[in-house]
């Protein structure tokens, strides 16, 4: 507890206390970046179906990256190669777009389960 000892009158002290309460209320209403990103993510995913392909006008450009981890087997007689690795697919889904200037968020990540 803070005790003010001042030559201020009782009315001035009450005004200071009211201002402190108002400032605290305004500061507590500010949302954190995590809250803003969560709200944006929820809004973007509302009604979104990951099973429906995004088909914007002009088609969809997909970037494919393949990374080879290791060769497991090479069979020259059968002309086959077995390897371990992974691939990444990148595309722009216009259904998940927003204006970063308006939202205040430039990038957002989603879990694959979302």
Mean local confidence (pLDDT), 20-45: 74
Q: Which residue stretches of the chain are H helix?
A: 10-29, 33-45, 100-103
Q: Is the pLDDT of residue 46 over 50?
A: yes
Mean local confidence (pLDDT), 14-34: 58
Q: Are 85 and 66 in contact (CB under 8 A)?
A: yes
Of the candidates 102, 96, 95, 97, the one whose C-alpha atom is nearest the C-alpha of residue 36 is 102
pLDDT of residue 75: 96
pLDDT of residue 63: 95
10 Cβ contact list (under 8 Å, min separation 6): none
110 Cβ contact list (under 8 Å, min separation 6): 41, 45
SS3 92: coil
């Amino acid at each position: 507890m803070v005790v003010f000892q001042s030559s201020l009158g009782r009315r001035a002290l009450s005004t200071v206390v009211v201002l402190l309460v108002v400032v605290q209320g305004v500061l507590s209403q500010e949302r954190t970046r995590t809250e803003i990103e969560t709200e944006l993510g929820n809004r973007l995913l509302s009604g979104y179906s990951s099973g429906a392909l995004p088909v914007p006008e002009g088609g969809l450009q997909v970037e494919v990256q393949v990374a080879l981890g290791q060769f497991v087997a090479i069979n020259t007689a059968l002309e086959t190669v077995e390897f371990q690795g992974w691939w990444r697919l990148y595309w722009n889904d216009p259904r998940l777009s927003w204006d970063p200037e308006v939202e205040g968020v430039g990038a957002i990540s989603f879990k694959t389960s979302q």
